[in-house]
Structure 1
Amino acid sequence: MKNLLYIFILLYASTLYSQKKGLIYYGFIDAIGTGNAKGPDSNAYMVFNKEKSYYVTAKDSLEKTENIDKQTTYSNDDEKSASIHLGMKVSRIGDQVFYNTKKNTIWSNFLRGNQVFVNEIATKIDWKISNETKKIGNFTCKKATALFRGRNYTAWFTSEIPVPFGPWKLNGLPGLILEAYDSEKNVFWYFKSVEYPSNTREPISNIRNIKGNKATYLSIPEFEKYCREEIQQSYEKMIIISKQHPGIVPVKGKLKDHFIEIIGKNE
């Protein structure tokens, strides 16, 4: 009887440990098209435990109305390219990523005209951890680098919060990622604050959808096809516009100029 009680206590303690929640707030700069972390700066957060994480950004309830409607132009350092934003990209559900380590699956969505939903087996990221450290907030962080989905990423993680999660789809390090960016800073996540453990009631469950809407999930090959078709359609629209406005020169953009993920060849 004592042995059974001991086993029950161990199982209960293990369950509580795995359910111990954390909540981290990030800033996310989307500088795709200009680089150098020059782009709309959105709020983001991630709630997590030992087994799962739920990340969201570009959600209207996270932003002030004046920032959502603000029109801004961002140029790169040599001013050879610019990105005009007629307002911050937001939706009711936001851009989301749900990662389940036990099932090794990632469910995600993002807004591009309509909501695009993707389901995939989690990719093992080949991180190279260096001895370089820096302080972020009150945490000592180590530097790690990796090539993931066509971009070279740098991540700063802390083993003081020993979970393998980070913003968006960045994961697999022996500690929580507090800051991350690609080599050209087309995407940049920076640390704001963290609660660990946290009493948040935010559920760590699959991505949300608008009530009554049905989501069709794309596989990774289907997602790549979707991205290429989107770029081709944009290019064809530019050709039509250029015929009406001779000063406009249509340019077919590359995947890296339109999407965070570069799947397949970036031609």
Structure 2
Amino acid sequence: MKKILNLLIFCLSISLFSQKNLAVTYKTSIANLETNAILIASKTHSMYEEGIEFKEREMNEFEPNSFTIGGWDHMRIFQNLKEPEVLKIQMFKNEDRFSYVDKDYYISDTIPKLNWEFINHHEEIEILGYKCKEARLKFRGSEFKAYYTTEIPTTFGPWKFHGLPGLILRVSSVDNPKIYWEVEEIIYPYEEAKIADVSAMNFNLSMKEYIQNFDDLVEKRGRAFAARMGSSYQSIPKNMRRQMTRERKYEWETW
């Protein structure tokens, strides 16, 4: 795991923030599929990346129509605490025949404010030697349970999670136990960690536009498959298609 961490950090070295940084590796899962993820954070910026090294999967363990942002595709999420609700997402083209990421995407995702509920009646648990408290969050149609430690003073966490008074070590979906993030290694402080400078990248696609493009591609492929099979096409409702995803319903959707 340490070799993986060092390799990822090297690959992500575009420019440096001068202060001591934090490096965290996670194991994350969606629909029985596990992959490695890494969080690099300074005092004010963070970069989360997942989908680089995949563990062996069985194709019958998941349905390709169930995936959208944050599945098994290679992605990076950048955050700046000056605008904590504006996430810059870099999605990389995936040649896997099940993937719906048909090209590189640069997405600007303005997410709803994360209103964490602090769970104070539970006893603290210990993760990797750190005492952790529990918090819960309802986010885009899903509910999540998180454990964070105030022993590492950062507001960042894996994926799109942030805003707790300490590093987030574990997150799991209350709705789907197959969706989770589990810390594997923490190096803090870590002076060698480097964070990419995204100021020159053009994140010109909104999340709403990306999801609309994604849904259109799903429909197009579904119709083409039905035509090849000589059968009629029946569209899968979005609420059913996203049952296994992290984000089930977006704030602009009214269904």
User: Normalised by the shorter chain, which TM-score bucket?
Assistant: 0.7 to 0.9
Alpha-carbon distance in 2 for matches of 1:180, 1:228: 27
**Does the alignment pair 1:252 with 2:241?**
no
1:135 to 122, 126, 129: 126
Alpha-carbon distance in 2 for matches of 1:50, 1:207: 18
Which amino acid is 1:195 matched to? I
3-state SS of 1:235 partner? helix
**Does the alignment pair 1:109 with 2:90?**
yes
**Does the alignment pair 1:118 with 2:110?**
no
Give % identity: 23
3-state SS of 1:233 partner? helix
Alpha-carbon distance in 1 for matches of 2:195, 2:186: 16
Alpha-carbon distance in 2 for matches of 1:177, 1:229: 35
Q: TM-score, normalised by structure 2?
A: 0.73
Task: Determine if contact 1:20/1:197 at 8 Å carries over to the other structure.
Answer: yes
**Does the alignment pair 1:100 with 2:80?**
yes
Q: How does 1:141-160 map to 2 (within 5 A)?
A: 141-160=132-151
Task: Determine if contact 2:118/2:134 at 8 Å carries over to the other structure.
Answer: yes
Which residue does 1:177 correspond to in 2? 168
Which amino acid is 1:98 matched to? F
User: Structure 2 vs 1, CA of residues 175 and 223 (structure 1 numbering), >3 Å: closer, same or farther?
Assistant: same
Task: Determine if contact 1:29/1:42 at 8 Å carries over to the other structure.
Answer: yes
1:228 to 206, 210, 215: 215
3-state SS of 1:102 partner? coil
Residue correspondences, number: 217
Alpha-carbon distance in 2 for matches of 1:22, 1:257: 33
Q: Post-superposition shift, 1:223?
A: 2.6
Q: How does 1:146-225 map to 2 (within 5 A)?
A: 146-183=137-174, 184-206=176-198, 217-225=204-212
Q: What residue ranges of structure 2 are gaps of 5+ in the alignment?
A: 1-16, 65-70, 93-100
Which residue does 2:68 correspond to in 1? none
Alpha-carbon distance in 1 for matches of 2:217, 2:144: 25
Which amino acid is 1:106 matched to? L
Q: Post-superposition shift, 1:20?
A: 2.4
Alpha-carbon distance in 2 for matches of 1:243, 1:143: 52
Q: TM-score, normalised by structure 1?
A: 0.70
Q: Post-superposition shift, 1:158?
A: 0.8
RMSD value over aligned CA atoms? 3.1
Q: How does 1:28-47 map to 2 (within 5 A)?
A: 28-31=28-31, 38-39=32-33, 41-47=34-40
Say which structure, 1 or 2, has more relative contact order (CA 8 Å, 6+ apart): 2
3-state SS of 1:114 partner? coil
Deviation track 1:120-176 (CA, whole Å, cap 9, x = no partner) reads 335320110102231111111111111112211111111111211111111111111
Task: Determine if contact 2:45/2:78 at 8 Å carries over to the other structure.
Answer: yes
Which amino acid is 1:240 matched to? A
Which residue does 2:7 correspond to in 1? none
User: Structure 2 vs 1, CA of residues 117 and 144 (structure 1 numbering), >3 Å: closer, same or farther?
Assistant: same
Task: Determine if contact 2:40/2:193 at 8 Å carries over to the other structure.
Answer: no
